[in-house]
Structures are given as structure tokens and as C-alpha cells.
Amino acid sequence: MHEFSIVDSLLRLADEHAKKNNAKKVTKLEIKIGELSGVEPDLLKTAFDTFKEGTVCEEAEFIIINQPIVIKCNDCNYEGEPNKDEYVCPNCKGVNIKIIDGEDMYLMSLELEKED
């Protein structure tokens, strides 16, 4: 289950940013998970809640934004979501498409609380 290694990386990154900014804790951590990223949001949340204890993220709000698949049609220039489970342009029905979002996971923001 790679969600545990992802959480480990997120916690390390949060700790690094907290130290660099003289913060005592992270109050909010927001990530975006693409539908095709291979990351299971529920498992990631469970892993985060399990491993955050004793870290700068112990009291952090963990926000997950689910990113649907977004395509661009190279024939008609449509940009948007395809129909469910179809990798064709919903506008012209062409298959000359490129996925432009929904394959990755990003750390979108960290909110820190400074030391007194």
C-alpha cells in the first residue's frame, strides 16, 4: 500500500517547511489527488490520521481535493471532462485527445502556526 509512503513523504515535507519558517505546527495540509493517480483518498486519509501523531501535523486539518480527468481534444480544441469511462471527446467524438489533468497528486498548500 503506497499511501503509507506518500504520507511519510508529506509529513517529512511539512516538517521541513515548519523548520524553515520557524513554525511550531502545521494547521492545515491540502492536497489534490487525480482520479488516475493510483492513490486511494480514503486510504491516504486513514494513513495520515494514523501517522500524524507526534509530528508537526498532529493537529492539522487534512483536506483532499479530488481532481477528475480533464482532456483536451486535438481535433476540435474541447477542454473538459470526458463522459464517464470514455476516452473520446464528448464534443466531436474524436479519439485524438490528451489528458491534461487528473493523473497526478499535488501538495497544494500548507498553513503554519509560528512559534511565539
Q: 21-37 burial, b for 16+ CB within 10 Å, e for fewer?
A: eebebbeebbbbbbbeb
For residue 59, is it within any domain?
A: yes
Count of domains in the chain? 1
89 annotated ligand binder: yes
76 annotated ligand binder: yes
For residue 78, is it within any domain?
A: no
Asked whether the predicted pLDDT for residue 19 surpasses 60, the reply is: yes
Q: For residue range 56-98, what is the model confidence (pLDDT) as tens digits?
A: 999 999 999 999 999 999 999 999 999 988 889 999 999 999 9
Indicate which CATH number applies to the domain containing 58. Answer: 3.30.2320.50
**What mean pLDDT comes out for the span 100-109?**
96
pLDDT at residue number 86? 86
d(CA 98, CA 96): 7
For residue 17, is it within any domain?
A: yes
For residue 77, is it within any domain?
A: no
57 annotated ligand binder: no
The residue type of 10 is L
d(CA 72, CA 14): 34
Q: Is the C-alpha dihedral spanning 75, 79, 84, 90 positive or negative?
A: negative
pTM of the model: 0.84
Question: Which domain range does residue 28 map to?
Answer: 3-67+102-114
Alpha-helical regions (H) of the chain: 3-20, 41-51
73 annotated ligand binder: yes
For residue 108, is it within any domain?
A: yes
